[in-house]
Structure 1
Amino acid sequence: MTLFHVHLYFTGSVFWMMQKSSSFMLPNSTELLSSTRSTTADLTVSLGVPRNRRKRYISPREMSALLDYHNQVRAQVSPPAANMEYMVWDERLARSAEAWAEQCIWDHGPPQLLKFIGQNLAIRSGRYRSLMDLVKSWHYEKQQYSYPYPYECRPSCPLKCSGSVCTHYTQMVWASSNRVGCAIRTCTNMNVWGSTWRQVVYLVCNYAIKGNWIGEAPYKMGKPCSACPPSYGGTCNNNMCYSGRTQLVNANRDGFKMAPLNGGKNEESLRSGKH
């Protein structure tokens, strides 16, 4: 069956229309909220994320494919990136994505966690589409993006870019967003902008350190690996700063053991339309 890509710019969203099926992406991939002193450990507890491993809704094979695709996209950015970091899977981010996906709410959340992480969402209903089809739809937003600034999704009309259609892509290629964790959930019913969708497959991907900072490019342009953070020790792999690890092991179950998710930045609000 033929897949038609039809772009309808209501509230800045992209509508991927197919015969006998539907798929949406939320217009803004991250919510940049007020800074807070809460720790990530506090957030995971307040969300009720269980300390023991729960049933996964994404298979190991899908996890590997999703991670490989992110790194493929990151390695091939144009113009080339001088400081692109290799992305690894983070189980804590995956668990927080699971906790949100289980709510079956078509919106970014929860608010207290969005202060620290980036988030991409996608849903589909109708005929079968693979998980990677949903992830690739974020990459397709590259067509709407012009380096360097993420809010200039369509440079010919930047003042009309309040409903962003490229921030899923820029979050994927944000250089310092070197950790990702995703979950997929089938929702019996979901309210999607006033309409009830049934048997919806809901994908949630959480990223750290969060991207899409106002006034900043997703990465530094230059020779690959020429501006890697010192912690990488000068190691480069496939045009990316590389530490040698492919998955974070979260040994401490009481919270993340990592750098502050907000990178010590003062947060601002994106010029993005509300959905």
Structure 2
Amino acid sequence: MLCDALAKVPSQTERNEILECHTMLRENVKPTASNMQFLSYSVEMEKLADEFVNKCSPVFPGSDPRYKNLGYIQLPFTTTEQQYKEALCTVNGSSYIYENESCPDDCLAYVQMVWAESTEVGCAKHHCNLLKNSTRIYYMMACIYKPGDPKLQTKPYIEGPSCSNCTRGYGCYRNQCRANYTTTTTSGSSAIALFPVLLLSALIFNCLH
């Protein structure tokens, strides 16, 4: 039994890094996702993750009503402390086969991180003594997702052109459906091409006045 946990919740910088690790992974799924939601960082989910890892047990507390309809990843125990960015940005789906949902390696962390319907994530980590009166330290890190499916029994997203299955009123940001976001249609090249026209108009205006 693991015990004597010491909490370590993310700083604001680490929260931003956690979110960026997820955003990069979700925007680059292959095949592309039609319904991938853009994640936001949740302090509420962070608190639940903190309570989870505080027990220093890999058993997810699914019977607790507060964890109902939530997903999670619990990264392997390590003997050295990992940074959130180091642990999460190295997760990839290179061995995951979308068509038949197969994976020769352990892809549970990847599948949960790209679970399209999730809109919130929060993470925490602790270090735990292996046994009471033991000096050997193990580190545990976990993230909680809302909404989610701890059993991950279906494909993580719907294949299709990016953002083609977003909720009405959502914009497309980094290949993900984002609320209150207006998709920009003006490309960099067209903006550059427009600059001389605006400059000429300004010169004509100055000459006339």
TM-score, length basis structure 2: 0.72
Displaced runs of 4+ in structure 1, greater than 4 A? none
- Confirm or deny that 1:144 pairs with 2:103: no
Cα separation, partners in 2 of 1:124 and 1:56, compared to 1, 3 Å: closer
The structure having more radius of gyration, on CA atoms, is: 2
- Structure 2 stretches lacking a partner, 5+ long: 1-6, 182-209
Match of 1:79, SS?
coil
Match of 2:35 in 1: 83
The 8 Å contact of residues 93 and 206 in structure 1, kept in 2 or not, is answered as yes
- The answer to whether 1:178 aligns with 2:114 is no
Pair 83,146 (structure 1): closer, same or farther in 2 beyond 3 Å: same
User: Does structure 2 retain, via aligned residues, the 8 Å contact 1:106–1:190?
Assistant: no
**Structure 2 residue aligned with 1:207, among 120, 145, 151?**
145
Which of 151, 158, 179 is equivalent to 1:243?
Answer: 179
In 1: Cα distance, 2:131 partner to 2:109 partner: 21
Contiguous gaps of at least 5 residues in structure 1: 1-54, 155-163, 246-275
Q: Any idea what the Cα deviations from partners look like across 1:69-112, whole Å, max 9, x if unmatched?
A: 10110001111111111001111111111111111123322532
CA contact 2:39–2:118 (8 Å) conserved in 1:
yes
Amino acid at match of 1:61: T
* CA deviation vs aligned residue, 1:166-206 (integer Å, no higher than 9, x gap): 12111110110111111111223369xxxx89322211100
CA distance in 2, matches of 1:58, 1:128: 13
Query: What whole-Å deviation, never above 9, does each CA across 1:217-269 have from its counterpart, x for those lacking one?
Result: 21111111111023xx0411111101148xxxxxxxxxxxxxxxxxxxxxxxx
Q: CA offset at residue 67 of structure 1? A: 0.7
Match of 1:266 in 2: none
Taking only the aligned residue pairs, the percentage that are identical comes to 25
- Residue 122 of structure 1: how far off its partner (Å): 1.5
Correspondent of 1:60 among 12, 15, 26: 12
Task: Give the Å deviation of 1:120.
Answer: 0.3
- The structure richer in helix per residue is 2
Maintained 8 Å contact 1:98/1:184 = yes
The two structures have a TM-score, normalised by structure 1, of 0.56
